[in-house]
Structure formats: C-alpha cells, structure tokens
C-alpha cells in the first residue's frame, strides 16, 4: 500500500531542515574524515526514513525498516573538481505536482576515470544547484536505481560544499530520488548529459522492488537535460518501480521534495 503524500508544509519544512542539518554535519566531519561523515549521513537518512512523518515509506514498511542499502565507503569515488562553465541550456520540466520547473545547464564537472556530468541550476524562487547521475549499474538487479540518483540538490539541503574553491562531488553520497520509493512523487531524472558509462558501485543502491531492472535505459536518456516524471510515472520506454525497504537509512516528504 503506497504511503500517503505528505501535504503538511510544516512537516515538509521539518524534513528539509533535518536534511540541511545532516549535510552541515557531514561537511564539518568530512573536512578531516570523509568516511566518518558518510557513516553519519547513512545514520541520519535511516532515522528520517524510519521515524519522520514525511517519510516516503508507508507505515507497514517503516515497521520492519532496517535501513537503506548503502555500499561501504570507498575514498576513490570522492572528487574535488573544478566547475567548468559551458554553453547554457534551458530545460522546462513539467512536474504535474509543482507545475513547470525550469533548470538551466550552467557548467560541467569532470570526474577522472569516470566522465563528465552537467551541473544544473534551478531557476525561480530559491534557486539551487542540481547534480544527478546515472551509471552503468542503473536498472540492474542489485545495482542502482534505473532513473539515476542525486549527488547534489542544494535547494533541499543536499550540499557537500567546496574545498579550496573546488566542488566536492563524492559519489558515496549518491542517493535515490523520492520516486524510487513512492511512485506518486515527481522526480527530475538523469539523462544523457548526466549519464556515465562507468559503473558506480558506491552510494545508495536500488530499493528492492523499485529497480526498473527490466528497462535498460534511463528516462529520457536521449535528452541532454534531466526530465521530470509527473507523479512518478515513468516515460513510455520504461515502467515505474515499486516501493519496499532495506537496511538502515533515510526519509522523505510530499510533492517534489
């Protein structure tokens, strides 16, 4: 039974506040101990998913929740990279829940040995940077979510910060969008500009029954920009995943969180 969408703005605000607080703690600890910061991140996400009223998990799932499935920390997937300005590209995303949301491609980042990713800016009130990623394990059993994961979504507090003027892109902190747990949510997904041909075996793994594992390509994989899936419905070339849970980690609120 799907979890009811949380519409109480105070609950959603509290969810985002707690996410922002967790990432602030992560940035502080990661300055000296990235692996320790990752352990804290895992714990905070598990607490949110298990206990917060805005969790994307339904009551029955939360009752047996043992944590999200997150791979052990691997320092080789942490990068401090230069943000390279590039040709600007506008993308209007129809979310179904939040109307049309506009993203603008403002730069790119190069991850040595893996490839490049487009960095997007959310246009409109609040702004924020958005960095999704899809890798070669996407959609595979035991791999990563078929629609890709998020690395940065600063308007919602997911921000790993900078070091010496370089952007921190730590793939160990890649996490599933809310629609990976509950199909009623709307989620912008990674497409060609944010797809790596390499495998990224770190970060949060696919939610057990929401794998899209029979669909080989991410939503709108031929596009240059992320596309939204209204209310979690997948585009024509793939079917929406299902919800379930796993060992020790996060939560989520209503709409396009």
Closest CA to 230 of 110, 95, 135: 95
Query: Which residues of the chain fall below pLDDT 50?
Result: 211-255
What is the pLDDT, as a whole number, of residue 96? 65
Are 1 and 248 contacting, i.e. CB atoms less than 8 angstroms apart? Answer: no
Locate 229 and state its tokens: 């899936």
How far is it, in rounded angstroms, from Cα 176 to Cα 116?
Answer: 20
For residue 122, the surrounding DSSP H or E stretch is strand 115-122
Contacts 24+ apart (CB under 8 A), 58-65: 58/1, 58/2, 58/3, 58/4, 58/243, 59/3, 60/1, 61/3, 61/243, 61/244, 61/245, 62/245, 64/245, 65/245, 65/246
What is the pLDDT, as a whole number, of residue 93? 76
Q: Is 169 exposed, middle or buried (0-12, 13-18, 19+ CB in 10 A)?
A: buried
What is the pLDDT, as a whole number, of residue 253? 36
Q: Is the dihedral of CA 169, 52, 123, 145 positive or negative?
A: positive
The phi, psi pair for 20, rounded to 5°, reads -60, -40
What is the pLDDT, as a whole number, of residue 8? 85
pTM for this predicted structure: 0.81
How far is it, in rounded angstroms, from Cα 188 to Cα 51?
Answer: 26
Locate 61 and state its tokens: 């799932």
| β-bridge partners, 113 | none
């Amino acid at each position: 039974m799907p979890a009811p969408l949380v519409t109480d703005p105070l609950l959603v605000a509290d969810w985002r506040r707690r996410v922002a607080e967790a990432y602030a703690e992560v940035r502080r600890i990661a300055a000296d101990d990235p692996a320790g910061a990752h352990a804290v991140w895992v714990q905070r996400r598990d607490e949110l998913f298990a206990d917060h009223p805005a969790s994307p998990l339904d009551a029955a799932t939360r009752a047996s929740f043992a944590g999200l499935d997150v791979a052990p920390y691997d320092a080789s997937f942490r990068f401090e990279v230069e943000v390279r300005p590039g040709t600007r590209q506008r993308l209007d995303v129809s979310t179904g829940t939040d109307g049309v949301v506009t993203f603008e491609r403002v730069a790119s980042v190069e991850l040595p040995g893996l490839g490049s990713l487009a960095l997007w800016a959310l246009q409109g009130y609040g702004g924020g940077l958005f960095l999704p990623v899809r890798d070669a394990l996407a959609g595979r059993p035991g791999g990563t979510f078929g629609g890709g994961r998020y690395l940065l979504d600063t308007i919602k507090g997911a921000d790993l910060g900078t070091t010496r003027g370089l952007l921190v892109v730590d793939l160990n902190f890649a996490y599933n969008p809310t629609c990976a747990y509950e199909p009623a949510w709307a989620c912008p997904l990674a497409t060609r500009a944010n797809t790596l041909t390499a495998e990224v075996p770190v970060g949060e793994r696919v939610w057990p029954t929401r794998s899209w594992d029979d669909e080989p390509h991410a939503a709108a994989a031929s596009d240059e920009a992320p596309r939204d899936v209204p209310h979690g419905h997948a585009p024509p070339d793939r079917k929406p995943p299902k919800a379930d849970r796993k060992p020790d980690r996060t939560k989520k609120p209503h709409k396009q969180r």
